[in-house]
Structure 1
Amino acid sequence: MGAPEDQPVNRRLLDEAIDWQLRLDERDEATLAAHAAWLAAHPDHARVWRQLSHIDAELGQLPRQEEVRQILARPRRKTGWKAAAAWVMALGLGAALVDRYQPVTGLLADYRTGTGERRSFTLPDNTLLVLNARSVVDLAFDGRTRAIHLRQGEIYVQTAHDDPAEQRPFVVVTGQGNLHALGTRFVVRREGGETWLGVTESAVLARPSPCPVARETACARQLRVEAGQQLRLGGEGGETLAALSPEADAWREGMLVVDGMPLAQVAAQLGRYRPGLLRVAPEVADLRVTGTLPLDDGERALAALAASLPIRIVKYGDWLVRIEAGSGH
């Protein structure tokens, strides 16, 4: 009998599976038949192959993977192609591992945080800026505007009011629009092609793309978001205004408080605090989650999810964790 699906990969079998993955590029009938025989020889062979396929699929979404695949596709001498392929795969895996600890897109940013890290900064105008895990921000203060560009992740902003002579507007710029603080505290998060805004004090003037950053230029689509409200920009339904949960910024204290949030979104939040990959199977991605989860204790958070939902947690070594449908689902 083979090992359980979630048992860590045996190194010898993993090496064999990687060798087969490289050999299958040849696509001749003899190689395909030999690979099928290897899979059928023992249940653990098929199990390790499935785990490798999961990891390969996830790596395909990470930075530099396309470069790796292009290099693998280049012509090379037969005597060294496996060694070259193994080296390139290692290069791609190395870049992926670096990205999981520190977003590679933010290595040259003004402010950034790595996986599982929260940091607070005081900007030149004494505004408080708090970065959630895996967040990237660039500063763009000039003579007319105090702007920060949120490239990735989530931030909490508490604008300063100690200089009455400061007349420059404070703006958070994302790919979906620009958010003008009106003497306020607020949270901004980038989620794929959307920007989420939650206002906890005063108000924010949200100007969706393609509204210009300059507020004196009229924009018919702009919305004033008051304290206790949240707004999504860039989604398929346009701008969506709704009530804000009082715990929207609980992540600053290391807690994730959700009320009916889809499991896929919960996993995305928890994934900022795990060095490995956390993925959700499509059949359970829309399950609704309500409760409080610890951001700094990933294992306890996953155990709490498994205890409250019809799911199971499947671990593929230390690198990949998948949330799948439970046996009773």
Structure 2
Amino acid sequence: MSREVARAAAHWLALVESGAATEGDHAALQQWRDSHPQHEQTWQKAQSLRQRFSELPQALALASLDRAQPGRRAVLKRALGVAVLVPTAWLISRQLPIEAWRADLHTATGERRRLPLAEGASLQLNTATAVDVDLARRHLTLVEGELALNVPGPSALQVQTRYGRLRVSQADVCVRQLASGCRVSVLQGTVQVRDLKGQTATLHKGEQAPLSAAGLGRTAPFDVTQPDWRDGVLTAQNQPLGDFLRELERYRPGVLRWDPRLEALRVTGSFRLEDTDRILNLLAQTLGFEVQARTRFWVTLTAV
């Protein structure tokens, strides 16, 4: 099950069980289920879990909730009820492996962190990222998400991913771990890449390439002047709105949906990531669509 499908199924389950779903929502859910066999399989799993946990003793369910963030407990209870909380949590947990929760460093959705390392090196974590750190061995493990690593000195740092290992020395690199592989982008210097088969290659400044179980893919130019998430900015240059929104989703908790007719609209600009609601409102004013918010965590964009 992919993280994206698990998250979508969890959101659909939350909406249906909340009692707020409209006829249009039910129709959209059916369309989503019909669009891919994995969608239907995941939805059936969600329904099965909902039924299984509907008989969960109330005291046990509330005890589990009490272990989580206390401030969210009452909100979650009112919104969804115990019968949907547990299966939704199970589905959401499939988005991030358990190793992510146990990692030395991690960020929540929408959070970014910058950390100094030894000898002038620095590490940045993007949204929903988890990293294990072993500075004694000068070794980092990207468990999930995206990192940026700057190593100005000659003492190399190793970055282990699911699909291979990077050696970073006197270089600046971004690594994003995806469901099917990694994307490695070199901003400064050169980075050595060793794939799962033991083959090595070198990426130079201004290059990026996919790294997967099959090895390092073909290199392509990378715009090293783009500030991107490292500076808290999301930049678009004549980008389809659908692609932009899918990237913006990574920084927003909850559900963001949009009318398929909006997909092909074009976006150009730089947007500060600390206020994604403002980004949506600016886009709506510029491109002429409407933002409909049931709550802060359930937003739909509709064509006018």
Normalised-by-shorter TM-score class: 0.5 to 0.7
Deviates more, 1:242-251 or 1:309-318: 309-318
Q: How far apart are 1:19 and its partner, in Å?
A: 8.8
Aligned partner of residue 157 in structure 1, secondary structure: strand
Shift of residue 112, structure 1, vs aligned partner: 0.7
In percent, how many aligned pairs have the same letter?
Answer: 25
Give the TM-score, by structure 2 length. 0.66
Tell me the equivalent position of 2:250.
Answer: 272
Instruction: Choose the corresponding residue for 1:291, options 253, 269, 276.
Output: 269
With over 3 angstroms needed to count, the CA separation of the structure-2 counterparts of 1:154 and 1:298, relative to structure 1, is same
Deviations 1:183-227 (A, max 9, x none): 21111122332322221211112334433xxxxxxx2xx432211
Counterpart of 1:240, as a letter, is R
CA RMSD of the aligned region, Å?
4.6
Q: Kindly provide the amino acid, as one letter, of the partner of residue 254 in structure 1.
A: G
Kindly tell me the number of residue pairs found equivalent between the two proteins: 265
Structure 1 spans left out of the alignment, 5+ residues: 1-14, 22-43, 212-218
Task: Say if 1:138 and 1:151, in contact at 8 Å, map to a contact too.
Answer: yes
Q: Measure how far apart 1:266 and its partner are.
A: 2.4
| Structure 2 residues not aligned, in runs of 5+ | 1-13, 62-79
**Alignment deviations for residues 159-179 of structure 1 (CA, whole Å, 9 cap, x no partner):** 152xx7x4xx42222223322
Post-superposition CA distance 1:34-62 (Å, at most 9, x none):
xxxxxxxxxx96357568889999xx99x
Within-5 A mapping of 1:1-329: 18=17, 46=23, 69-74=47-52, 87-93=82-88, 106-123=100-117, 127-141=121-135, 143=137, 146-161=138-153, 166=155, 169-211=156-198, 219=199, 222-234=200-212, 239-280=217-258, 284-285=262-263, 288-309=266-287, 312-324=290-302, 326-327=303-304
CA contact (8 A) 1:278 1:320 kept: yes
Q: Which amino acid aligns with 1:109?
A: A
Alpha-carbon distance in structure 1 between the residues aligned to 2:262 and 2:19 = 32
Structure 2 SS opposite 1:231:
strand
CA contact (8 A) 2:196 2:215 kept: no
Query: Aligned to 1:302, what secondary structure does the other structure show?
Result: helix
The answer to whether the Cα contact below 8 Å between 1:156 and 1:249 also exists between their aligned partners in 2 is no
* Post-superposition CA distance 1:129-185 (Å, at most 9, x none): 111222111124565xx3312122221111152xx7x4xx42222223322213211
Do 2:258 and 2:300's aligned partners in 1 also have CA atoms closer than 8 Å? yes
Question: What CA distance in whole angstroms lies between the structure 1 residues aligned with 2:105 and 2:18?
Answer: 41
Q: Which deviates further from its counterpart, 249-258 or 102-111?
A: 102-111
Relative to 1, partners in 2 of residues 1:284 and 1:127: Cα closer, same or farther, differing over 3 Å? same
Secondary structure of 2:110's partner? Answer: coil
Match for residue 34 of structure 1?
none
Task: Give 1:250 deviation, angstroms.
Answer: 3.3
**Larger radius of gyration between Structure 1 and Structure 2:** 1
- Measured in 2, the distance between the counterparts of 1:255 and 1:75 equals 41
CA distance in 2 between partners of 1:204 and 1:270 (Å): 28
Instruction: Judge which range, 296-305 or 68-77, deviates more.
Output: 68-77
Deviation at 1:20, TM superposition (A): 8.1
Task: Give the letter for the 2:129 counterpart.
Answer: S
Report if the CA contact (8 A) 2:192-2:202 is conserved.
Answer: yes
Q: Is the 8 A contact 1:65 1:92 kept in 2?
A: no
- Which AA in structure 1 matches 2:111? E
Mapped to 2, the partners of 1:19 and 1:277 lie a distance apart of 14
| Matched AA of 1:183 | Q
Write the distance in 1 (CA, Å) between the matches of 2:212 and 2:289. Answer: 31
**Pair 1:273–1:233, CA change in 2 (3 A):** same
Partner letter of residue 171 of structure 1? Q
Query: 2:192 and 2:18 mapped to 1: Cα distance?
Result: 56
Q: Kindly state the Cα deviation for residue 304 of structure 1 after the two structures are TM-superposed.
A: 3.0
Tell me the residue number matched to 1:37: none
CA distance in 1, matches of 2:18, 2:166: 51
State the secondary structure of the residue aligned to 2:103.
Answer: coil
The CA distance in 2 between the partners of 1:149 and 1:104, in whole Å, is 14
Q: CA deviation at 1:289?
A: 3.2
Quick one: structure 1 residues 88 and 245, their matched pair in 2 at CA, closer, same or farther if it must change by over 3 Å?
same
Q: What TM-score, normalized by structure 1, do the two folds share?
A: 0.62
Structure ranking higher on relative contact order (CA contacts 8 Å, 6+ apart): 1
